A and B are shown apart, each in its own frame.
Chain A
């Protein structure tokens, strides 16, 4: 029998999934997201936030590189549901699938 030849691809390389994407967020008077602006190439462009459906906070890995995020699940003016978070440790807003 001839052994199945196998391409020498990088089976060992793990690629991260669901990496947060940087977005620009305009805040409302209450300090919560009011509009989301995404750069070209991203799936949604400028959108205003119609409603904030839910928000929660994650604090993790305080023992090494602390991670602190404030998540908002928002509904945009087109009806799309998007999850945004503010990186409270390093700054910046991101969009990410929950």
Chain B
């Protein structure tokens, strides 16, 4: 079996939803939209992570400690982040974009690139392609999409940052240098030191950077300088690289003697799902559609298929609908060969758990989900919030009651 080769595209549409996590929260809880809200950091609960414009207006900034933020804005509504929910929402958006183009590259939470090479034949001019993307994204809860279209990821990203919510900025081919010239230096992927040095040299826009001789920039900043200069000049067009979708994964078992007992078949089903899940090509993907077919005695066959509403990479969740079907309509005869096939996938943990790129973080996410499930059960039984999360408020305070506080833990 082979994997689909990498799909690439030089022309790109950057789809960007700023403050994606915060928007997910306000979509889920509309009452928050009119309040100064901030999300606590997913890794560091002492600091605020994403801040709503209302809170920003009074000086709350991302990265501040919770106590500083509350000091500046006593009415600040702090929410605990729910990375799993954000990932699910983002995977919905990516899936919607995948309906428009086969080349979609998620960059970070709330930002994805869509490769648009060859789409002219389907949709027409870039404006029409952008319209198709907007229409596709409308099916997701996120309509405040900003889109930038241009040659290469960098130009499209800068264009997206200049677009208004729900609108698009299109940079015509050949017009990259002119478009980039007026953009501020901050759009370049600069480290703080390089940024400071360029500002000290009086370089404030990409146009000012390009006005310097390329070799002079290289002599000051080395290889990184060359890349920056070329990005600023619109000469470097990094292509969009699409996700590699695995081909179907099959696990099969031939019984020594035909098997008719449902318990044995259910057990075999578990084993085959485990084996298919362990296939290295499945890594990073969750299973969406699973098909089971059996070759029966006397040449007959039997088939069942399940589409998982919530794609999963755990055996129990994949097996549950299949076992139900197996109970309802078992094979009409003894089974000689049993085959499990994963036929469709959704981006999984390593692809889209953007908070959980490493195994430890993925495990944390799993624990958080288990904790959420337990908390929900407790809340259902007790019917009032009884679970709290301890956060540091002023851990340095000499007054013990000022150091920590409880915040409602909400699943």
Contacts and interface: CB of A to CB of B under 8 A. Distances in A.
A42 interface: no
Contacts of A1: 88, 91-92, 309-311
A7 B28 CA distance: 10
A7 B410 contact: yes
Interface string B343-382: 0000000000000000000000000000010001001000
B400 interface: yes
Interface stretch (A13-21, A32-40, A45-53, A74-82): A13-21
A8 B31 CA distance: 10
A11 B385 CA distance: 10
B278 interface: no
A97 B401 CA distance: 9
A6 B28 contact: yes
B82 interface: yes
Contact of A97 (B31, B92, B391, B400): B400
Nearest to A8: B29
Contacts of A96: 400-401
Interface residues of B, number: 39
B131 to A, nearest CB: 25
Contacts of B82: 4, 6
Given A11-B77, A11-B78, A16-B401, A4 B406 contact: no
B388 interface: yes
A3 interface: yes
A32 to B, nearest CB: 21
A96 B92 CA distance: 50
A2 interface: yes
Nearest to A4: B85
B79 A12 contact: yes
A2 B310 contact: yes
A11 B408 contact: yes
B80 interface: yes
A31 interface: no
Contacts of A15: 388, 405-407
Nearest to A56: B398
A77 B377 CA distance: 44
Interface of B is mostly: mixed
Given A4-B84, A58-B399, A13 B408 contact: yes
B401 A20 contact: yes
A14 B405 contact: yes
B77 A19 contact: no
B352 to A, nearest CB: 12
Contacts of A16: 401, 405-406
B111 to A, nearest CB: 20
B411 interface: yes
A67 B399 contact: yes
Contact of A18 (B77, B89, B403): B403
B400 A3 contact: no
Contacts of B408: 9-11, 13
B76 interface: yes
B399 A60 contact: yes
B123 interface: no
B325 to A, nearest CB: 21
Interface of B: 28-29, 31, 70, 76-80, 82, 84-85, 88-89, 91-92, 309-311, 372, 376, 379, 385, 388, 390-391, 393, 398-401, 403-408, 410-411
Q: Across the A-B interface, give the 9 residue pairs with the lowest CB-CB distance, nearest first.
A: A12-B77, A15-B406, A14-B405, A9-B410, A17-B404, A9-B385, A9-B408, A18-B401, A11-B79
